[in-house]
Amino acid sequence: MRWISLTLIGALLLSLAAPISRAQATVRPLLAWSPTADLIALTNADQVLLYSLSADLDAWELQTTLSGEGAALSALAWQPHGEALAAGDVEGRLFLWTLADLVRQQAQAHSAPIRALAWQAEGAHIAAADRDSLSVWAVQPLALEQTWASEGIITTLAWHGDLIAVGGAQRGTYEQGYLALHNQAGALVERYSAEMRAPFNLQSLPGSQLGIGTPFDVFVWQPRTDAYKPLYLPFTEGESAALAVWSLRGDQAVVALGSRLLCFAEGAPNGESALVLPLVAAAWRADGAYAALLASDGTLSLLAAAACTAQATLRAAP
């Protein structure tokens, strides 16, 4: 028989009732692999830890620590050419570090926690999103160019060609998701018309395609032709997808499905391994040979894509 003590119930009710500031908010750790170097960025509260990977791929070394302004970081993204790193925090601030000199720019981008960041392919602009609105910024220097309200509750964001893809949940429901493409001024250009759950990941892929991860469907969509190419996910009862990340070339993907990690190559299953702990983030090396996996306890693993096996673990702490 399942039971819970009155003491524990009381403690739970008190914890829910207690006010929590944005600075104290708990957010999951974030992971991003530089698109041009073996340099991995990990968040730790209000800091970004930059780790380099050894030449023989068996060790990680902390290179430097980038600090925010005391509030937990809630979004992280490398500039496409690897020259800068952007982060957003739960106070709605946007940070931008130039890697050559580690100079930081910052701006009060939103009045709510930043949920997602997306870089323009040329690296001259970045988009930021909170729960209800988006903003577009020039980055040299950091300056606001446009802002607009979203049609739903934003969960993810991607810059796709000259458009900005926004995904989330329709207001009033957590069952129905939406995906809309806007131009840089915020005008609606195109919408994904089929039913879907709120996506947890959008990723711009070669061939004018978008990689889309939802709890019960992971697929590639081409807006211009409306082509839909799903990944085969062998669900068992009670399972759902919690993470889906494509390689930069778009030919490989990893999907966390319950307590399993699935690997795909060219859209076909390419291996499976068990997960000891839930994954909270993943990122691909530029050449697609390896993916970094971040577990819920802060353990960082290197996944050999060809064999779908993990190696070289590191406890991700300063």
Region 71-97: what's the mean pLDDT? 97
Q: How far apart are CA 251 and CA 232, in angstroms?
A: 15
**Mean pLDDT for the stretch of residues 29-51:** 94
C-beta atoms surrounding 174 within 10 Å = 10
Mean pLDDT throughout 204-233? 95
Q: Is residue 317 part of a domain?
A: yes
Domain for residue 37, yes or no? Answer: no
pLDDT at residue 6, rounded to an integer: 30
Q: Dig out the tokens for 68 from the structure.
A: 């925010």
In a domain, 49, yes or no: no
Do 119 and 130 touch, CB atoms closer than 8 A? no
The CATH number for 263's domain is 2.40.128.630
Tell whether 233 is covered by a domain.
Answer: no
Whether pLDDT at 297 is above 80:
yes
Residue 178 has pLDDT above 60, yes or no: yes
More confident position, 58 or 186? 186
| Number of other CB atoms surrounding residue 223 within 10 Å | 19
39 contacts 31 by C-beta, under 8 angstroms: no
Is 215 a residue whose pLDDT tops 80?
yes
Q: pLDDT: is 210 or 25 the higher one?
A: 210
- Across the strands, what pairs with 244? 255
- Residues 221-243: pLDDT tens digits? 999 899 999 999 999 999 999 99
Give the torsion sign (CA, 215, 218, 223, 226). Answer: negative
**Is 305 part of any domain?**
yes
Number of folded domains in the chain? 1
- What pLDDT sits at residue 120? 97
- Give the structural domain span for 280: 242-318
- The candidate with the shortest Cα–Cα distance to 165, out of 130, 132, 192, 131, is 192
pLDDT of amino acid 25: 52
Mean pLDDT of the chain: 88
- For range 174-198, the mean pLDDT: 93
The runs of H, that is alpha helices, within 179-315 are none
pLDDT for 314 equals: 67
pLDDT in tens, 87-123: 999 999 999 999 999 999 999 999 999 999 999 999 9
Is 107 inside any structural domain? no
Cα gap 93→122, rounded to integer Å: 23
3-state secondary structure of 236: coil
Q: Is residue 136 part of a domain?
A: no
pTM value?
Answer: 0.88
Is the model more confident about 300 or about 110? 110
Residue 264 within a domain: yes
The answer on pLDDT for 220 being more than 50 is yes
